[in-house]
C-alpha cells in the first residue's frame, strides 16, 4: 500500500515529458519524482498503438517496482494508445494522462480557427477524434502532424535553422487559414515556445496542458490522501532506456540543472 512519501512516476517517449515534470515540481514541490525517458524508442508518434501499449506496460511496471504511488503519462501519444489499458491493469492507482487542449482552445479562439500541432499517432487516434466530437463542434480545427520535430528537440535543437524551417513550413499555412490559437499537442513542444513565438503574431495564443496535468494530479492525490505535505523539496530521479549520458547531456537545458541519469532496465 503506497504512502504519501512515495514518489510519483512520470514517463514519456523521451525528454519532452520534462515540460510536464517541471509543472509538477512547481505545483507540488514536496513530491519525490521518478522520470523515465524511453529514448531508445523515441519517437512514439510514428509507432503502432500496440508497440506503444507494450512500452507503457513495461515502464509502468518498472515505476511501480520503484514504489511509485501514482503514474503520469507525460505524453499525448502514449495516453492516446495506452492509458485505458493501464487503468484496467492497475485499478485504484491514480493515473493521469494528457490530451491536446481542444476544450480550452475552442473557448479561447476569436477567429473560430484552431490549429493543433501534434504527433501523427495522437492525431490519428480514436481518443483525439472523440475529443473533437465533444468539444470542437463550433470551431474549425486544423490538425498538423509534425514528423521530425521531436527528434530536433531530443537533440537539444530548440532554436536552430532546421527546427525553424520545419516549424515555419507548418505554421505559415495555419496562419494563412485564420488560425489564432495553436494547441501544442505534444509534451516536447513547450520547449520550442520561444521559437514559435517568433513565428506567429503576438495575438496568436499557444496553449499546452502541462499545468492542467499538475492540477489534476494534485486533485487525485488529495482525494486518495496521498499528497506529500511535508513542505521539504523532494528529489527527482531520472532513468533512460537509451545510453544515460544522452539524457544527462540535455538535462541542464531542459530541466535547468544537471542530474545523474540511470539506465532504465525495461
- Name the active-site residue from 75, 146, 179, 264: 75
- Which window, 27-35, 41-49, 233-241, 244-252, contacts ligand DGL (CB under 6 A)? 41-49
Burial 112-150 (b: 16+ CB within 10 A, else e): ebbbbbbbbbbbbbebbeebbeebbeebebebbbbeebb
241 binds ligand DGL (CB under 6 A): no
C-alpha cell at 208: 499546452
**How many C-alpha atoms does 163 have within 13 Å on its Cβ side?**
21
Closest approach, Cβ 44 to ligand DGL, in A, equals: 4
Closest approach, Cβ 74 to ligand DGL, in A, equals: 7
Residue number, 13 or 228, with CB nearest to ligand DGL: 13
Strand 8-12 to strand 140-145: parallel, antiparallel, or no bridges (unpaired)? unpaired
Residue number, 6 or 24, with CB nearest to ligand DGL: 24
Beta bridge partners of 183: 116, 207
Q: Please say whether the beta carbons of 101 and 213 come within 8 A.
A: no
13 binds ligand DGL (CB under 6 A): yes
- Which window, 43-51, 133-141, 158-166, 198-206, contacts ligand DGL (CB under 6 A)? 43-51
Closest approach, Cβ 81 to ligand DGL, in A, equals: 10
The yes-or-no answer on residue 186 being catalytic is yes
Q: Is 248 exposed, middle or buried (0-12, 13-18, 19+ CB in 10 A)?
A: middle
Binding site for ligand DGL (CB under 6 A): 12-14, 16, 42-45, 75-77, 119, 122, 150, 186-188
Catalytic residues: 75, 186
Amino acid at each position: 500500500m503506497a504512502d504519501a512519501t512515495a514518489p510519483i512516476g512520470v514517463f514519456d517517449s523521451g525528454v519532452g515529458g520534462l515540460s510536464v515534470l517541471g509543472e509538477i515540481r512547481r505545483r507540488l514541490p514536496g513530491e519525490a519524482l521518478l522520470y523515465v525517458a524511453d529514448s531508445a524508442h523515441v519517437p512514439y508518434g510514428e509507432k503502432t498503438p500496440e508497440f506503444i501499449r507494450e512500452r507503457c506496460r513495461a515502464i509502468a511496471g518498472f515505476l511501480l517496482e520503484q514504489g511509485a504511488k501514482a503514474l503520469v503519462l507525460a505524453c499525448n501519444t502514449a495516453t492516446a494508445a495506452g492509458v485505458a489499458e493501464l487503468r484496467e491493469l492497475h485499478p485504484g492507482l491514480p493515473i493521469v494522462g494528457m490530451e491536446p487542449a481542444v476544450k480550452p482552445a475552442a473557448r479561447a479562439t476569436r477567429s473560430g480557427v484552431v490549429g493543433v500541432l501534434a504527433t501523427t499517432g495522437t492525431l490519428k487516434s480514436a481518443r483525439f477524434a472523440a475529443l473533437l466530437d465533444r468539444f470542437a463542434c463550433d470551431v474549425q480545427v486544423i490538425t498538423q502532424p509534425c514528423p521530425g520535430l521531436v527528434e530536433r528537440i531530443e537533440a537539444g535543437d530548440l532554436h536552430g535553422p532546421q527546427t525553424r524551417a520545419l516549424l515555419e513550413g507548418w505554421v505559415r499555412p495555419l496562419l494563412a487559414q485564420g488560425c489564432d490559437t495553436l494547441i501544442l499537442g505534444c509534451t516536447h513542444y513547450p520547449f520550442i515556445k520561444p521559437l514559435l513565438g517568433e513565428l506567429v503574431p503576438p495575438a496568436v495564443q499557444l496553449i499546452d496542458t502541462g499545468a492542467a496535468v499538475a492540477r489534476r494530479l494534485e486533485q487525485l492525490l488529495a482525494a486518495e490522501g496521498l499528497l506529500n505535505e511535508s513542505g521539504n523539496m523532494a528529489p527527482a530521479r531520472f532513468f533512460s532506456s537509451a545510453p544515460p549520458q544522452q539524457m544527462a547531456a540535455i538535462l541542464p537545458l531542459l530541466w535547468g540543472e544537471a542530474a545523474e541519469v540511470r539506465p532504465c532496465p525495461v
